[in-house]
Amino acid sequence: MFTGKEGFSRHISQQFNHELEDIRTQMLAMGGQVERQVSDALDALLNNNPDLAEESRRVDRQTNQMELDIADQCTKMIAIRQPTASDLRLIVAISRAVSDLERIGDEASRICQHAIEIAQSGPAPRGYQEVRHIGMLVSSMVRDILTAFARDDLELAYSVAKQDTNVDQEYRSAMRSLVTYMMEDPRSISSILNVIWVLRSLERIGDHARNLSEHLIYQVSGTDVRHQSLKNIKRTLKDASPDDEAEMKDQGGS
């Protein structure tokens, strides 16, 4: 039997341990910043606050820089440490995740741009109710997926992936009603188009949150679930290494 040294989970190389923890912390910090960008963008739009929108767009430049820094560290770690198994998956998942986070930041920045244009063009157009509703759904997805990353929580990751289907439905229904409205009142087209772009960005943020949940599932379970149905993802989660869990119980949950 495996006696004597089982139960450890730290690297023999403390330096590598430190690097892995550090890169994870940086990714979560970037996530926190992106989450704030999304909520600020919605706040700026719905409360007609162009100053906040400008400020949030500046933050996006930092987000871009964070992506470059983290991706660079991932590349260096792969070259120098030659990670395997869970370490390799953690680094691959993080380098994929930061690219999705950066794009969430871009979408938030786009929403800010529309918020500024709408603020300059006069009274609030129709569609704000839909923006508020979908905005809340998407914000909670981003928040939940970051919590899931912090806790390696696959159930929560799955619920985020599932939530994306709701967002897509809400988005389609909002589009239908806005298109109808534009047909009824062609003078509103230019202002409503701005709202449509905002909805589009929110829907894309939902997609990126789903991607993030797939990266986390890969990191933890080792199965790549990209481009798979929710049903398949659920099945993967059920199969995820029962062997290891049984073994950990054997070892007294060490």
Partner 1 sequence: MNVPSLSRPLSASQAQDFQPERLKLQVENFSLHYGREQVLQDIHLALPAKRVTAFIGPSGCGKSTLLRSFNRLNDLIEGCVCRGDIRLDQESIYAPGRDVVELRRRVGMVFQKPNPFPKSIYENVAFGLRVQGIRDRRTLDDVVEFSLRAAALWDEVKDRLHDNGFDLSGGQQQRLVIARALAVEPDVILLDEPASALDPISSLKIEELINELKHSYTIIIVTHNMHQAARVSDYTAFLHQGRIIEFGDTDSIFTNPSKRQTEDYITGRYG
Query: For residues 16 and 197, which CB has a smaller minimum distance to partner 1 in the complex?
Result: 16
Tell me the residue type at 139: S
Check residue 89 for interaction with partner 1 (CB under 8 A).
Answer: yes
Which of 14, 85, 231, 253 touches partner 1 by CB under 8 A? 85
Per CB under 8 A, does 84 bind partner 1?
Answer: yes
Q: Which stretch, 3-11, 22-30, 116-124, 185-193, contacts partner 1 (CB under 8 A)?
A: 3-11
Among residues 207, 203, 198, the alpha carbon closest in space to that of 53 is found at 198
Taking CB under 8 A as the criterion, the residue among 19, 35, 87, 107 binding partner 1 is 87
d(CA 207, CA 203): 6
Question: Is position 177 an interface residue for partner 1 (rule: CB under 8 A)?
Answer: no
How far, in Å, CA of 207 to CA of 138, rounded? 9
Cα 21 to Cα 74, 153, 172: the distances in Å are 12, 17, 41
Instruction: Give the integer Cα–Cα distance in Å for 197 and 45.
Output: 12
Q: How far is the CB of 151 from partner 1 (least distance, A)?
A: 20
Cα–Cα dist 84/82, whole Å: 7
Q: Does 152 bind partner 1 (CB under 8 A)?
A: no
- Whole-number minimum distance, CB 242 to partner 1, in Å? 10
238 binds partner 1 (CB under 8 A): no
Q: Which two tokens stand for residue 247?
A: 């073994």
Q: How many residues bind partner 1 (CB under 8 A)?
A: 27
Residue pointed to by tokens 């660079």: 72
Which tokens sit at 91? Answer: 């680094």
Q: Is 13 in the site for partner 1 (CB under 8 A)?
A: yes
* Amino acid at site 124: A
Q: Concatenated DSSP letters for 213-232?
A: HHHHHHHHH----TT--HHH
Kindly indicate which of the ranges 12-20, 36-44, 105-113, 185-193 contains the residues binding partner 1, using the contact rule CB under 8 A. Answer: 12-20
Q: Give the residue with the Cβ less far from partner 1, 180 or 241.
A: 241
155 binds partner 1 (CB under 8 A): no
CB of 145 to partner 1, least distance (A): 22
Least separation in angstroms between residue 78's CB and partner 1 is: 12
Phi–psi pair at 191, nearest 5 degrees: -75, -35
Binding positions for partner 1, rule: CB under 8 A? 1-3, 5-6, 8-13, 16, 82-89, 222-223, 241, 243-244, 247-248
